[in-house]
């Protein structure tokens, strides 16, 4: 059977636009036996509380009817796609997450998703009822075992246990499937591509059946979808793996065989780079922004953010603003200028010393008998944030904030200051990974000035300041953060790995103490297994025993 894999980028809520995208691809591949689209493609994934709007569900139903009528014009091609469908019951959530197969104007099967994930970024039980029946369907020369994303993930990895009682893939195999087809909206994080391939390859080998997975690409708010749709033969070998982070439509034949050497996962840092570029581009495009503005400090974080933005939307659409203050070094301004020249982006210089002095003149009488402290440092950061927002309001730029995950984790950032922005580009990238990203960017020629990379990190908000005045070395900080935030280890478990007890306690307490800051941060692009944002739900007003 010839099956066309449609790895496409839907826009959430744009049902008409997503439908037109489907129609165009179907027309171009009308000779295929089956044209397959990702999970919930008609409405886009994740639609979240849009599913609670009746008019959205009604628009999806109208689109399904339109697609049925459209399919009458194609004698060969069946159409398999994802959509929310009402349960028509007077109890429960009222919707199923389904895969719908249409052929020649008729619905051949509606396969309901059985396993509804509720961990990390997923919240499907909030909207959907689990499917109770899992059936195969005879279509042309194959018996299709259709599953929807999580339905194929009831394995012990990576949770060290099976988290569902039902195993849809096993049921489909027992009912006589001759090919597995999984329609997915599987978000990206570093290393997930390899995990996906292993899971689907294991299914194919275990049941001696070919496995086709169709994944969406694109970025929707914090989530990035990398695609990497794949066709795996009955021996668990890749026959075809579609490219990452780009739309691709490709037809495969279920009779074809792969080989053990075909599959090669993307380089980790390269995939991080490409994910962030796509994340910026899609967030801006889908939110209606064409231009971005970035505060350029002379440090590596803002340099990386400027570079990524220039790759995402073009250097002509990026404005960088350097805002030197009383403690800014001459080298920071010079290094910023060199970066701007390398990237070809726009540059603006707005000094803040005079504004800062005005603040101090106003506040000094009220700060009588109190020494200067972090208050005065934060005023400088907030002045810069206000300037960026003023330019954003006046010219319609989207402010991209530049803080990394390490800083955000321990609160080494200023509310309404350097946290100001509409999108936090590298807020899920640990500082040690930021340096690896810089090395990748400079792999062919120097783009990020070497002076910026070698510079000792500093907020430059007081004389002689460096990050390590307050923070542990980033190599240690990032390891402890990984164990505590990503892996959920206890303080004692982290100490047992050889870290200094006082350092571990300081880091852990800083993470928990600064939850209120992160709740007010801009949306950040998720690239690790556990990002601050929609996948991490921690209380603010709480007390922990360490």
Q: pLDDT tens, 222-235?
A: 999 999 999 999 99
Q: What three-state secondary structure class fits 88?
A: coil
Q: What is the pLDDT of residue 455?
A: 86
Q: What is the pLDDT of residue 362?
A: 96
Residues with a catalytic annotation lie at 39, 113, 149
Q: What is the pLDDT of residue 468?
A: 79
Question: Residue by residue, what is the 3-state secondary structure of 123-161?
Answer: CHHHCCCCCCCCCCEEECCEEEEEEEHHHHCCCCCCCCC
DSSP state of 482: I
Q: What is the pLDDT of residue 463?
A: 78
Q: What three-state secondary structure class fits 5?
A: strand
Q: Are 480 and 507 in contact (CB under 8 A)?
A: yes
Mean of pLDDT values over 446-457: 92
How are strands ordered across the β-sheet holding 230-232? Answer: 137-139, 142-148, 179-184, 211-215, 230-232, 238-241
Q: What is the pLDDT of residue 384?
A: 97
Q: pLDDT tens, 353-398?
A: 999 999 999 999 999 889 999 999 999 999 999 999 999 999 999 9
pLDDT band at residue 294, thresholds of 50, 70 and 90? very high
Q: What is the pLDDT of residue 544?
A: 81
Residue matched to tokens 């066709």: 231
Mean of pLDDT values over 95-118: 97
Distance CA 313, CA 335 (A): 23
Name which of 101-105, 272-276, 458-462 the model is least confident about.
Answer: 458-462
pLDDT at 338 over 90: yes
Q: What is the pLDDT of residue 162?
A: 79
Distance CA 539, CA 41 (A): 33
Distance CA 187, CA 329 (A): 41
Q: What is the pLDDT of residue 458?
A: 75
Distance CA 236, CA 259 (A): 9
pLDDT band at residue 171, thresholds of 50, 70 and 90? very high
Percentage of the chain beyond pLDDT 70 is 99
Query: Other CB atoms closer than 10 Å to residue 546's CB: what's the count?
Result: 11
Q: What is the pLDDT of residue 158?
A: 63
Q: What is the pLDDT of residue 157?
A: 67
Q: What is the pLDDT of residue 538?
A: 92
**Residue 390, class by beta-carbon neighbours within 10 Å (0-12 exposed, 13-18 middle, 19+ buried)?**
exposed
Q: What is the pLDDT of residue 159?
A: 64
Mean of pLDDT values over 28-56: 97
DSSP state of 450: H
Q: What is the pLDDT of residue 47?
A: 97
H-state helical runs in 314-364: 330-343, 353-363
Residues 6+ apart with CB under 8 A from 155: 162, 199, 202
What does the DSSP assignment read for 239-267?
A: EEEPPBSS-EEEEEETT----TTS--PPP
Q: Alpha carbon of 543 to those of 26, 156, 538, 540: distances in Å?
A: 56, 33, 12, 9
Distance CA 177, CA 109 (A): 14
pLDDT at 464 over 80: no
pLDDT band at residue 120, thresholds of 50, 70 and 90? very high
Distance CA 447, CA 137 (A): 54
Question: What are the tokens at 398?
Answer: 């989207």
Q: What is the pLDDT of residue 332?
A: 84
Q: pLDDT tens, 210-221?
A: 999 999 999 999
Residue matched to tokens 């010839």: 2
Mean of pLDDT values over 297-326: 96
Q: Where are the domains of the chain?
A: 2-257, 272-471+514-519
Structural Rg of the chain based on CA atoms: 26
Mean of pLDDT values over 54-60: 96
pLDDT band at residue 465, thresholds of 50, 70 and 90? confident
Name which of 14-18, 128-132, 183-187, 468-472 the model is least confident about.
Answer: 468-472
The CATH superfamily assigned to 272-471+514-519 is: HUPs (3.40.50.620)
Mean of pLDDT values over 88-96: 92
Distance CA 67, CA 234 (A): 32
Distance CA 68, CA 64 (A): 6
Q: What is the pLDDT of residue 462?
A: 75
Percentage of the chain beyond pLDDT 90 is 90
Across the chain, mean pLDDT equals: 95
pLDDT band at residue 470, thresholds of 50, 70 and 90? confident
pLDDT band at residue 330, thresholds of 50, 70 and 90? confident
Q: What is the pLDDT of residue 327?
A: 86
Q: What is the pLDDT of residue 100?
A: 98
Distance CA 192, CA 245 (A): 14
Task: Look up the CATH number of domain 2-257.
Answer: 3.60.110.10
Mean of pLDDT values over 454-458: 83
Mean of pLDDT values over 317-323: 97
0.85 surpassed by pTM: yes
What does the DSSP assignment read for 441-462?
A: HTSSS--S-HHHHHSPP---SS
CB hemisphere CA count around 226 (13 angstroms): 27
pLDDT at 156 over 80: no
């Amino acid at each position: 059977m010839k099956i066309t894999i449609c790895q496409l980028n839907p826009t959430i809520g744009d049902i008409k636009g997503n439908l037109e995208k489907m129609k165009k691809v179907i027309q171009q591949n009308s000779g295929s036996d089956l044209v397959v689209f990702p999970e919930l493609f008609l409405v886009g994934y994740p639609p979240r509380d849009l599913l609670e709007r009746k008019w959205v569900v009604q628009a999806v139903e109208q689109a399904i009817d339109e697609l049925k009528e459209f399919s009458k014009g194609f004698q060969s091609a069946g159409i398999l796609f994802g959509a929310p469908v009402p349960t028509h019951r007077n109890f429960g959530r009222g919707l199923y997450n389904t895969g719908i197969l249409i052929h020649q104007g008729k619905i051949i099967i509606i396969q309901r998703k059985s396993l509804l994930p509720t961990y990390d970024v997923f919240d499907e039980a909030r909207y959907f009822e689990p499917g109770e029946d899992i059936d195969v369907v005879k279509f042309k020369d194959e018996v299709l075992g259709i599953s929807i994303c999580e339905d194929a993930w009831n394995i012990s990895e990576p949770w060290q246990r099976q988290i569902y009682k039902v195993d849809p893939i096993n049921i489909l195999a027992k009912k006589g499937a001759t090919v597995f087809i999984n329609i997915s909206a599987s978000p990206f994080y570093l290393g997930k591509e390899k995990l996906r391939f292993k899971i689907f390859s294991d299914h194919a080998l275990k049941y001696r059946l070919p496995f086709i997975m169709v994944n969406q690409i694109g970025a929707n708010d914090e989530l990035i979808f990398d695609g990497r749709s794949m066709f795996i033969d009955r021996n668990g070998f890749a026959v075809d793996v579609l490219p990452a982070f780009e739309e691709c439509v490709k037809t495969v034949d279920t009779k074809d065989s792969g080989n053990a050497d075909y599959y090669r996962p993307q380089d980790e840092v390269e995939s991080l780079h490409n994910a962030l570029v796509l994340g910026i581009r899609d967030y801006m495009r889908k939110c209606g922004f064409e231009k971005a503005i970035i505060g350029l400090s002379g440090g590596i974080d803002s340099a990386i953010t400027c570079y990524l933005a220039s790759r995402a939307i073009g250097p002509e659409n990026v404005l960088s603003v350097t805002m030197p203050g009383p403690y800014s070094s001459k080298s920071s301004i010079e290094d910023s200028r060199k970066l701007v020249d390398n990237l070809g982006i726009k540059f603006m210089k707005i000094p803040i010393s005079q504004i800062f002095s005005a603040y101090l003149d106003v506040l000094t009488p009220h700060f009588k008998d109190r020494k200067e402290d972090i208050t005065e440092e934060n005023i400088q950061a907030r002045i810069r944030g206000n300037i960026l927002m003023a330019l954003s309001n006046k010219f319609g730029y989207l402010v991209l904030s530049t803080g990394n995950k390490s800083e955000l984790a321990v609160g080494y950032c200023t509310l309404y200051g350097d946290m100001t922005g509409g999108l936090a580009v590298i807020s899920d990238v640990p500082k040690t990974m930021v340096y690896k990203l810089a090395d990748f960017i400079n792999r062919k020629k120097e783009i990020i000035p070497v002076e910026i990379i070698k510079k000792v990190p500093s907020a430059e908000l007081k004389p002689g300041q460096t990050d390590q005045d307050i923070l542990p070395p980033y190599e240690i900080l990032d390891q402890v953060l990984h164990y505590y935030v990503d892996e959920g280890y206890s303080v004692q478990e982290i100490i047992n790995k050889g870290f200094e007890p006082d350092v571990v306690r300081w880091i852990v307490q800083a993470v928990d103490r600064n939850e209120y800051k992160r709740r007010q941060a801009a949306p950040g692009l998720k690239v690790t297994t556990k990002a601050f944002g929609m996948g991490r739900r921690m209380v603010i007003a709480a007390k922990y025993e360490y």
